[in-house]
Amino acid sequence: MKNRIKGHLTEIIVLVVAALLVAADQITKGLITDNFYLGQSVTVIPNALNFTYIHNPGAVFGILKNHPWVFNTVTIIAVIGALIVLASGRVGKKPYIWAIGLVISGGVGNMIDRLSLKYVVDFIEITFIYFPYVFNVADCCVVIGCGIVILQVIIEMIQEFKAKKAKKAADITHLTEENVDE
């Protein structure tokens, strides 16, 4: 039993962190709904960050706002799939494990809103660039998790390219040495 837990320690830690992130998401949304009126915007960092309380009945930019079952179905399938993948122990690289945990936490955080409120509470508004979307902690988790996957894939592609290039150079050197020996 101890070896089994030790073998999955990273996954266990990731799931604990994911649960804490879901709690942080729900706490921050609760603070906003308890202290702001709908549509209220407060500057947190001038020309950089506002807290603007809105309801989002859909996805990004309010798309599919009349189809919450789509988000709940996709989220449930994605979270169950991610948990199965984590439990399998087949995800060898820690960045992927952390990315899965982040996506799980974001999906669960927003699903809680959709199931209990029929909309998602959003409040983080970036103002230092034009970004026409207000989001929340759960959204940040999903975006960061997906970003980690993209970054890891790019890193692996670069490593693979360098390894192939080094092998090719080694093969050329080996062939050249064989020709010199003859």
Residue pLDDT, tens place only, 54-83: 999 876 656 667 677 787 888 899 999 989
Catalytic amino acids? 122, 139
- Tokens standing for 166? 């080094």
Q: How far apart are CA 129 and CA 170, in angstroms?
A: 48
Average pLDDT over residues 162-170: 85
Q: Which of 73, 70, 21, 49 is nearest to 134 (CA)?
A: 49
Look at the chain and report how many structural domains it folds into: 1
Which H/E stretch holds residue 51?
A: strand 49-56
54 is in which domain, residue-wise?
A: 2-181
Residue that has been written with the tokens 């990004």 in this structure: 60
- Tokens standing for 181? 């020996």
Kindly tell me if the per-residue pLDDT of 174 is higher than 80.
no
